[in-house]
A and B are shown apart, each in its own frame.
Chain A
């Protein structure tokens, strides 16, 4: 396993020359998940020469040199083609699941040189294909063009079926010692009899132990049960090893229908993306993990289709875009729910130049209440009628239109500032004879100022609630502003104002007073304006503004790492613009600060800052 891990580390940073070869056509048509990284783009952002001289580069090259007895000066010496695309995929059958990596090679000889002499002795060859089993579940296989790393896990349910188990020479575990001392069937022979003889004729030895040193465990008395259990495991490992080799040979040797026939996968591919990810619909994957008996409970992800995502990195941004497919009913329902824009009146209360963060959303409350029961009834297929009935009852009780007048469904939450506030706490003083006396002391605490707003065409209910609070002495009312002071349930002071069809809630009395008086001055920039108005859901966070607005006393207490991290990070945005086609999409963007060359180097520097020992 260690060898596999080392190899994979190298993979991320290797390959440079050679003809572009796309290995996607080797990924089986029915793979459940595929991920890829374009190494040429990766090394445009972080040139190989620079990587070799970086701390991580040195670490990897030194490790390789030490392990192989060679003298590696460049990551390109590992023989992997880095002007191509590396793939990972996941495939599952009822008996085994495979996690596999496909890596184009520029020089298979250089790759073989990575193995030490002992390991090299264990390499097996079938025609142009060479392979190495590092344990029962892991396999490394290569030819001149590609390296294939596979990890297979046998399904725990597969051998639960006694008929299947006996076919592979696996007997039920004994309940007492005598049961297992009966005639022992030659499991290897049984396997051979049952083996699929049409498959390539490969002999697989029992899996080897990994060359890792373990502490000697205390001696355990071997019972018939533990002995039988160990034997079973050996048989299972041996079966898995056989399957993995056959499966891998099939991938390398033959031309099978590939994932390129899957339109949903093709949608995930973008030539400009550094990396991409695609996953078959969740319902399909989720059901695959459950035994048949539980299948009836697995409908709750019904209607949600495949997921895809892409990663882009350039000089100014790091961007991740993602999509999830929906079936027609769900897409129609969400389209109605997302048919709402943020109240434009909110925008005049945003101060972009000093803002620490915000979050906004715009949903149509009426559609939400009307569509929700339908979404639920779709998800709970076996209880569809009951859910449908419940939905109708809910509709009968709720007046969706009336609710939508009170809470229209759009909201904006701003983190505007940080304020140092004096707070009291109880502690003790001791007199000269060490008798304890309770005392109240004060300290300064930095708290964020939050300003929330949501639209409401009918504020009567909210007013009634607040007036009830006044009558119970929980709410203080003055100059149109309702105030709730901090308590155990509410760590902040909260001031509420109902104005112009907007409910304002803020922790800063000054902000609310200015809004009430009409003197609050916002200064929204175009980027944030577009972000808010063109999307149904957004988030924004400025680590630098947070750092800049933090009192010196607070930054002094903060560790250097956190302080540096906040001070050197660019803005982060998240947005979702609702339904396009039958897909719901979201995008995360992180700005690269001016002092950084590009997104990849920026993230490397952040990573170095975080992991640097204090």
Chain B
């Protein structure tokens, strides 16, 4: 019976089900430099595909984790974040029906977020030079995200098979920064400012980010 199930699943996955996901990064920053951050990964558009994949043990040579293993990884990340200096109120959600996972936390200053990203990359043994750095200058009320593109991500991406690369084809990245005061100027013209002028959004495709066609650096000047 198992073999039949596998036969059907293997026939279905590659041919019929397209994949698509979105990553949303939200930072809400107070005047005093404290704030909250939320990261959400939403695979809901691909949920039929993921549900089918999760019935198998491996796909394209990669091991498929069980629900419990995914939950354990999330719990491990929450535990790590809780230990980080300046980080508090760490909460996570994982919806295994729609395949949406998110993590929220508060920070004392944005520099804490920079440490946190490095610690996470270290934990998951990701070597990357493409790490954004956040900075908030309280006196000058200026928030910056610095991001320098390096080709190593593209090199790693190009090493994937076409089939694996297709997963990223329709993947989107959304970044939102919200502030207590109005934005007077910003450097990244791909970003859009909200009606109340206190939030800024940038949407781009993940493949553009990987290939260096999009830049997520931004220097945002806030009113004093």
Interface residues of B in 1-28 (CB under 8 A from A): 4, 7-8, 11-12, 15-18, 22, 24, 26
A240, CB-defined interface residue at 8 Å: no
- Contact (A433, B16) CB under 8 Å given A426-B44, A452-B4, A491-B48: no
B42, A448: Cβ atoms closer than 8 Å: no
Q: Which of B11, B54, B196 contacts A415 (CB 8 A)?
A: B11
Determine, out of B93-101, B206-214, B216-224, the stretch whose residues face the partner at the interface: B93-101
Determine, out of A103-111, A151-159, A439-447, A508-516, the stretch whose residues face the partner at the interface: A439-447
Q: Is the interface of A mostly helix, strand, loop or mixed?
A: strand
What is the CA–CA distance of A428 and B203 in the complex, to the nearest angstrom? 13
B96, A413: Cβ atoms closer than 8 Å: no
A359, CB-defined interface residue at 8 Å: yes
A432, B194: Cβ atoms closer than 8 Å: yes
Q: Which of B7, B17, B42, B199 contacts A434 (CB 8 A)?
A: B199
What is the CA–CA distance of A435 and B44 in the complex, to the nearest angstrom? 20
Q: Which of B17, B18, B176 contacts A430 (CB 8 A)?
A: B176
B131, CB-defined interface residue at 8 Å: no
Interface string of A441-466 (1 = CB under 8 A from B): 00101111010100000000000000
The residue on A at minimum CB distance from B48 is A491
- Contact (A413, B7) CB under 8 Å given A425-B98, A434-B194, A445-B48: yes
**Distance in Å from the Cβ of A488 to the closest Cβ of chain B?**
5
**Distance in Å from the Cβ of A415 to the closest Cβ of chain B?**
7
Interface string of A482-493 (1 = CB under 8 A from B): 000011111100
B201, A434: Cβ atoms closer than 8 Å: yes
Interface residues of B in 134-151 (CB under 8 A from A): none
The residue on B at minimum CB distance from A418 is B16
What is the CA–CA distance of A456 and B48 in the complex, to the nearest angstrom? 31
**Distance in Å from the Cβ of A559 to the closest Cβ of chain B?**
8
B195, A436: Cβ atoms closer than 8 Å: no
Q: What is the interface residue range for chain B against chain A?
A: 35 or more
What is the CA–CA distance of A446 and B12 in the complex, to the nearest angstrom? 10
Interface string of A408-436 (1 = CB under 8 A from B): 00010101001000010111101011111
A228, CB-defined interface residue at 8 Å: no
Interface residues of B in 167-189 (CB under 8 A from A): 174, 176, 178
B176, A436: Cβ atoms closer than 8 Å: yes
Q: Which of A415, A435, A447 contacts B48 (CB 8 A)?
A: A447
**Distance in Å from the Cβ of A426 to the closest Cβ of chain B?**
4
Q: Which of A427, A435, A446 contacts B42 (CB 8 A)?
A: A427
Interface string of B48-65 (1 = CB under 8 A from A): 100110110000000000
B174 CB contacts on chain A under 8 angstroms: 428
The residue on B at minimum CB distance from A425 is B44
What is the CA–CA distance of A411 and B97 in the complex, to the nearest angstrom? 31
What is the CA–CA distance of A491 and B56 in the complex, to the nearest angstrom? 12
What is the CA–CA distance of A221 and B44 in the complex, to the nearest angstrom? 54
B48 CB contacts on chain A under 8 angstroms: 423, 445, 447, 486, 491
**Distance in Å from the Cβ of A500 to the closest Cβ of chain B?**
21
B45, CB-defined interface residue at 8 Å: yes
A434, B176: Cβ atoms closer than 8 Å: yes
A357 CB contacts on chain B under 8 angstroms: 11
A392, CB-defined interface residue at 8 Å: no
What is the CA–CA distance of A411 and B1 in the complex, to the nearest angstrom? 10
Q: How many residues of A contact B (CB 8 A)?
A: 33
B205 CB contacts on chain A under 8 angstroms: none
A427, B16: Cβ atoms closer than 8 Å: no
A447 CB contacts on chain B under 8 angstroms: 12, 16-17, 48
B133, CB-defined interface residue at 8 Å: no
Interface string of B86-107 (1 = CB under 8 A from A): 0000000000111010000000
Q: Which of A359, A434, A488 contacts B4 (CB 8 A)?
A: A359
- Contact (A554, B11) CB under 8 Å given A426-B100, A436-B24, A489-B51: no
A425 CB contacts on chain B under 8 angstroms: 44-45, 47, 98
A209, CB-defined interface residue at 8 Å: no
B112, CB-defined interface residue at 8 Å: no
B16, A448: Cβ atoms closer than 8 Å: yes
What is the CA–CA distance of A554 and B12 in the complex, to the nearest angstrom? 13
What is the CA–CA distance of A430 and B22 in the complex, to the nearest angstrom? 14
**Distance in Å from the Cβ of B192 to the closest Cβ of chain A?**
8
**Distance in Å from the Cβ of B49 to the closest Cβ of chain A?**
8
B51, A491: Cβ atoms closer than 8 Å: yes
B71, CB-defined interface residue at 8 Å: no
What is the CA–CA distance of A359 and B4 in the complex, to the nearest angstrom? 8
The residue on B at minimum CB distance from A428 is B24
B97 CB contacts on chain A under 8 angstroms: 487-488
The residue on A at minimum CB distance from B95 is A426
B198, A433: Cβ atoms closer than 8 Å: yes
What is the CA–CA distance of A452 and B3 in the complex, to the nearest angstrom? 13
What is the CA–CA distance of A242 and B41 in the complex, to the nearest angstrom? 61
- Contact (A359, B15) CB under 8 Å given A433-B199, A434-B176: no
A557, CB-defined interface residue at 8 Å: yes
Most chain B CB atoms below 10 A, which of A418, A423, A425, A445: A425
13 cross-chain CB contacts under 8 A: A357-B11, A418-B16, A425-B47, A427-B22, A428-B174, A432-B196, A436-B24, A445-B16, A447-B12, A448-B11, A487-B97, A491-B48, A491-B52
Binding site for B on A (CB under 8 A): 357, 359, 411, 413, 415, 418, 423, 425-428, 430, 432-436, 443, 445-448, 450, 452, 486-491, 546, 554, 557
A-B pairs with lowest CB-CB distance, top 4: A432-B195, A434-B199, A491-B51, A425-B44
